[in-house]
Amino acid sequence: MATGIASGSGQLYLREPVYRRNSYGKAHCHSTVILSGMQNQIHWSSWISKLLQVDRSNYSQCQVKTNQKSHRGTIKSCQREGSTRYFDFAVIGSGIAGLRYALEVAKHGTVAVITKAEPHESNTNYAQGGVSAVLCPKDSVESHMQDTIVAGAYLCDEETVRVVCTEGPERIKELIAMGASFDHGEDGNLHLAREGGHSHRRIVHAADMTGREIGRALLEAVVKDPNIYVFQHHFAIDLLTTQDGSDIVCHGIDTINTETHEVIRFISKVTLLASGGAGHIYPSTTNPPVATGDGMAMAHRAQAVISNMEFVQFHPTALADEGLPIRPSNARENAFLITEAVRGDGGILYNLDMERFMPSYDERAELAPRDVVARSIDDQLKKRGEEYVLLDISHKPTEKILSHFPNIAAECLRYGLDITQQPIPVVPAAHYMCGGVRAGLEGETNVRGLYVAGEVACTGLHGANRLASNSLAEALVFARRAVQPSIDHMNISKIDHSASSWWPRPVAPLLLGDTVLNKVIRRTREVRKELQSIMWEYVGIVRSTSRLTLAETRIIELELKWERYLFQHGWEPTMVGLEACEMRNLFCCAKLVVSSALSRHESRGLHYTIDFPHVEESKRLPTVIFPSQLNSSWSSRRLHKQQIC
């Protein structure tokens, strides 16, 4: 993997990467090629759109082999041949981005929505705060843009920011038309909340359960659509790709049904990755258990360009179980989020001596962006040797607290804490990946036929730190923007029913027997905890070069040790299982984060290192990880080689 920061000044001076061929005839990026050059001064989003643009008038037909079953035009219904399914569109993920996209492209063809667990189990379902959009006459697109760029430490792509801030309000109106119900004020207009980093009230919300309400509305519409087929409990393993000269083409996805252990292959004309983030590379995260970086890792293995992985957002205020009057009897799979809106509504942060500390760190106090608040809390905890701080909203009227934060109030009351009378114990937790699969303005990637939307994507919107409630807006905007190019691609593509045999099939490890398989699963769970511990200790909120280097070494050693254990117990390279595949994806994402962090020799946004504590204007550029064939570990390799035309 070739990692680097684009050279040059604050403006990007770019040239397209040069490709070489290895002895197998595959194209890969020259490892020394990083964004540079002085020919054309253009914005990141403009350049990446050009680089990733698919020449729709000259598609390679390498995927269409001589076969009388080749199918042009839409597939009229779900077609099935044994363990292979054929669709016009395959969507990986059932969060806001995946479902919104599915509903639009379903007007033009058949859609498979492939989801790892239950359809509602996504990061969207856990989003409390809301969706940011300019809907107040006193607000403006320019103000929203400025707030986004300031929060993103001036690493945001301005064109992308303008697109999201401009198109976001219309996407909200579409959700309302579909039946999503948001809170309204006494005047009958939408109630707009304010969160940290925002200069105006612009957060559309449904109490403190906004994501759940949006997910409900979208899922109800999906269920009613005859062109959409939902495959729940299907874990995505690897993307199916072919190589055409220097181009990589995506043809679908291999999955395993985690309930029946059957491997199902989806052949599709277009694939959308909307699989969410990678919060579970850390031991404490607000993300649901499904957030193990599967989409980012699959895309990396399929030679997609990855960007800005060092920018991991730690939400400042997750519920600290250690401070509750009644401790939960079982450890949580994911930390309970205390929304940004609590601070936006006047919540105050105190240490355990009830000393307010945020004004001493930033003039914006509790309304500072998340990276500032998280680092401030981290500093307090380390200086004072304490496990959590306190967030107090009890000075506000009881009825206001309970109407705005009913879910938080109920969760805390379960453990003996009344937030209308007592402060809430909070601690930072991994929350959001600002980096991901690099995308253009239409969600396109450098892999033809592969689009991305939501947290799995790096569009340039968030820069070095995400502004609160911008993620759902981004997901809605880019899901919608990916629709037309996807339809164009679908219309000139063919389905070849012989394609299913182009790649070897993964197999479930049933032949190992229950005893061996249980040992492998048990060891994998132990390794997962070890990796999470390394990431939290060495790649957390405050970093250093020596600790990042140590993390890199320890992660590689742990990965190779785990792989040896698997193969010594009869595991084969083509075997797949939920725990093992999640583990390989976690390793992949952890290495991407560490590699990116080591490449950034400055402190910007979410990446703070004591060795380079200041912002450097010359380094105000995205980190880019180009594809590479130099992958030595099983976790970094695809389960099957790419088909070459």
Q: What is the pLDDT of residue 28?
A: 33
Q: What is the pLDDT of residue 147?
A: 96
Q: What is the pLDDT of residue 454?
A: 97
At 535, which helix (H) or strand (E)? helix 513-538
pLDDT tens digit sequence for 199-252 = 999 999 988 788 889 989 999 999 999 999 999 999 999 999 998 888 899 999
- Asked whether the predicted pLDDT for residue 123 surpasses 80, the reply is no
d(CA 84, CA 33): 39
Query: Residue range 360-382: average pLDDT?
Result: 94
Q: Is 9 left (phi over 0), alpha (psi -120 to 50) or beta?
A: beta
pLDDT tens digit sequence for 319-339 = 999 999 999 988 888 899 998
d(CA 373, CA 407): 23
pLDDT band at 632 (very low <50, low <70, confident <90, very high): low
Task: Please give the mean pLDDT across all residues of the chain.
Answer: 86
What percent of the chain is predicted at pLDDT more than 90? Answer: 73
Q: At what angle do helices 470-481 and 158-178 cross, to 10 degrees?
A: 90
d(CA 365, CA 486): 44
d(CA 254, CA 261): 13
Q: Is 8 left (phi over 0), alpha (psi -120 to 50) or beta?
A: left
Q: For residue 607, what are its two tokens?
A: 């990446």
State the DSSP code for 191: P
Q: Where are the alpha helices (DSSP H) in 4-112?
A: 44-52, 96-105
- Asked whether the predicted pLDDT for residue 355 surpasses 50, the reply is yes
Exposure b/e, 279-288, CB count within 10 A at least 16 = b: bbbbbbbbbb
- Asked whether the predicted pLDDT for residue 62 surpasses 90, the reply is no
Query: Residue range 596-620: average pLDDT?
Result: 96
Q: Where are the alpha helices (DSSP H) in 302-451?
A: 341-344, 370-384, 398-404, 406-414
Which amino acid is it at 278?
A
Q: What is the pLDDT of residue 583?
A: 97
Beta bridge partners of 430: 285, 314
Residues with catalytic roles: 370
Question: What Rg do the C-alpha atoms of the chain give, in angstroms?
Answer: 24
What percent of the chain is predicted at pLDDT more than 70? Answer: 84
pLDDT band at 45 (very low <50, low <70, confident <90, very high): low
Which of 126-140, 141-155, 466-480, 547-561 is least confident?
A: 126-140
pLDDT band at 308 (very low <50, low <70, confident <90, very high): very high
Query: Residue range 176-194: average pLDDT?
Result: 91
- Asked whether the predicted pLDDT for residue 24 surpasses 90, the reply is no
Neighbours of 497 (CB within 10 A): 16
Which amino acid is it at 58?
N
């959700």: which residue's tokens? 175
- Asked whether the predicted pLDDT for residue 279 surpasses 80, the reply is yes
At 231, which helix (H) or strand (E)? strand 228-231
Angle among Cα 237, 243, 245 to the nearest 5 degrees reads 160
Query: Residue range 377-400: average pLDDT?
Result: 96
- Asked whether the predicted pLDDT for residue 423 surpasses 90, the reply is yes
Of 31, 49, 319, give the one whose Cα is nearest residue 159. Answer: 49
Q: What is the pLDDT of residue 200?
A: 94
- Backbone φ and ψ of 38, nearest 5°: -130, 15
pLDDT band at 527 (very low <50, low <70, confident <90, very high): very high
Beta bridge partners of 235: 256
| Total residue count of the chain as it appears in this document | 645
The terminus-to-terminus CA distance of the chain in angstroms comes to 24
Close Cβ partners of 321 (under 8 Å, ≥ 6 residues apart) = 327, 328, 332, 415
Query: Residue range 440-465: average pLDDT?
Result: 97
- Asked whether the predicted pLDDT for residue 582 surpasses 60, the reply is yes
pLDDT tens digit sequence for 128-180 = 678 999 999 999 999 999 999 999 999 999 999 999 999 999 999 999 999 99
Q: Are strands 348-350 and 389-392 parallel, antiparallel or unpaired?
A: antiparallel
d(CA 454, CA 98): 8
pLDDT: which is higher, 225 or 21: 225
């499904």: which residue's tokens? 290
What percent helix, strand, coil does the chain show, rounded to 5? 35, 20, 45
Q: What is the pLDDT of residue 309?
A: 97
At 270, which helix (H) or strand (E)? strand 263-273
Which of 112-121, 146-155, 342-351 is least confident?
A: 112-121
pLDDT: which is higher, 493 or 43: 493
- Asked whether the predicted pLDDT for residue 112 surpasses 70, the reply is yes
- Asked whether the predicted pLDDT for residue 56 surpasses 90, the reply is no
Query: Residue range 477-482: average pLDDT?
Result: 98
Q: What is the pLDDT of residue 51?
A: 47
Q: What is the pLDDT of residue 117?
A: 82
Q: Where are the alpha helices (DSSP H) in 53-108?
A: 96-105
d(CA 320, CA 427): 6
Q: What is the pLDDT of residue 642?
A: 55
pLDDT band at 121 (very low <50, low <70, confident <90, very high): low
């979410």: which residue's tokens? 606
- Asked whether the predicted pLDDT for residue 61 surpasses 50, the reply is no
Query: Residue range 251-258: average pLDDT?
Result: 96
Long-range contacts of 597-603 (CB under 8 A, 24+ apart): 597/309, 597/310, 597/539, 597/543, 597/548, 598/3, 598/545, 598/548, 598/549, 598/552, 599/3, 599/4, 599/5, 599/310, 599/623, 600/5, 600/310, 601/5
Q: What is the pLDDT of residue 127?
A: 61
C-alpha separations of 214 from 83, 306, 319, 538 in Å:
33, 29, 23, 36
Query: Residue range 423-448: average pLDDT?
Result: 97
